[in-house]
Structure 1
Amino acid sequence: MAHGARAKRRIGEFELIARYFAPLARGFAGAGGLKSDNAFLAGDGRHDLVVKTDMIVSGVHFFADERPELVAARALRVCLSDLAAGGATPHVYQLALSLTRGWTERWVAGFARGLAADQRRFGIVLCGGDTTGTPGPTTISITAFGKVARGKGLGRDGARAGDELWVSGTIGDAALGLLAARGELTSTFLERRYRLPQPRTALGPLLVGIATATADVSDGLLADVGHIADASRLSARIERDRVPLSKAARRALCAKPLLWNDVLGGGDDYELVIAVPARKRAVLLEASRAAGVEVTRVGAFSKGKGVVLTVSGQPQHIAQSGYVHF
């Protein structure tokens, strides 16, 4: 580097999308300016199609020696989680599979068994795709299609000041589970929560007409609440004392409180973040019971910008806001 020259900053994931790819989506309202994980397409006279593409890469999203059945489940379920956030019921999906040169038929057979099991579990079926070889790591891309009532799909940009902030299930299990998978914690429960996501496909469609905005917790609670706040041009407050924890996560935090950074910013929980008007709280709880998925109120949205984290009512510095690829 020449004397006095400065290294050029590499732009982040969301800036890259906004600068180079969002302009390509202009003119199609269903793309939402590429600010949401889902796209919305007109379906039949009664439904819209909610469309989501996700990619997972060996060594980045799953361990290279992971069981192929679990790789298949992760690949499909991360897409189904976004469909749930869109209020959609799973319909069909396409698969693009890029295999390394050392692939074996045994691995592919296990991968196909994993897909078949989840097709039965979630009521979805394969409708096409592509296969190729690669010198690089195994890469799987799935495009999933769901159905939602015409014009009723849920996105990130509908929250209003005064809406309550709710989350499904428990938060932080997957981030702690990754540490367990690496041998840094001991918990089979947490490790399984990381290796096998549980998309909230039963709850998502029931949120239509109740929630004003939704997202799934893929990048981390702080980050995904921030996505809703940014898209809705609001500020969000998260009360850490209210964040729902599993018994295993609570034990880990008691032993090492610094793990709160992983719990709030680690991602991969695939729970739902939900903005709900206070007047619809009872209806939300009824939907929660019908789906068999607990929900917890953890904060609220208000006028302003950004995400504020409080502990015992006091604002806290946010050390890790979420996972980013670049």
Structure 2
Amino acid sequence: MSGGLIPTAAPDFRSGFISIVGRPNVGKSTLMNYLVGQKIAITSPVAQTTRNRLQGILTTPQAQIIFVDTPGIHKPHHELGKVLVQNARVAINSVDVVLFVVDATSPAGKGDLFVADLVAKSSRPVILGINKIDQLSESGRKAAEVKSSYEAIAAEHGWDVVKFSALTGEGLGTLQDQLVSKLEPGPYYYPPDLVTDQPERFIMGELIREQVLLHTREEVPHSVAIAIDKVEEDEHITRILATVNVERTSQKGILIGKGGSMMKAISTAAREQMQKLVAGQVYLEIFVRVQSRWRQSRTRLAEFGYKVEQ
């Protein structure tokens, strides 16, 4: 995640911001990680994994694409949910191109139509991306049903359609070409070797949250906010001190586990990911703290980094 000098772009160089939108769990973060060639967004089988607008940067000889990964768009149930959906709406209207991602394993449903309406209200060029084609056979009744349901949405709004797999990379070359073709000539916004605009501390916190999601599944996931309290680096090791904030004492018990076993598993897995991030040894210490009803408090949300985009 280093950042060097910003070069001068050639006259035919294209650049711009592309928002990745869709329902929860359609594979938006997996897609962005694949395209930028590095893990910067966390992925998990739990819906609503993405919270903050995370920008992934892909620079090729022809273009620089800045991807804005947004929370899955859904009906909000608490203050945090409202902030997330509002931020996704802002992301749709503040970019150059919208990539609307849907899931090839099921036909278009109410959630997809809700997102399609939001996207259609923006004046931006839109590409409808059908993800997870690796999980669906090309022939058969279900494949035909899925294909026709999404093609009908695209046809109604005059959107281009690209099919791909964010897991295997199939079709992503075509997707990349389509996205670049919709961008205007423009400058380098970031140094070519940068893959995200987020500070390393933010990514560290997200890597811990990912392991909480993967290890605890339904019991704890969305009541968790991570604070990176201290990062100390020397030539041999990076020492990281973090706090996992939860809403209830029972959740704290689940996270720590019997004899500290759950926290040990979470810490070990997060540390392994962090070592890839910093390309060196990491010592990680995590504390768990109860912050009652933090998701309902605008003050706490801001403190944990969830601010409403203007």
Using the size of structure 1 for normalisation, the TM-score is: 0.33
Bigger proportion of residues as strand: 1
Using the size of structure 2 for normalisation, the TM-score is: 0.34
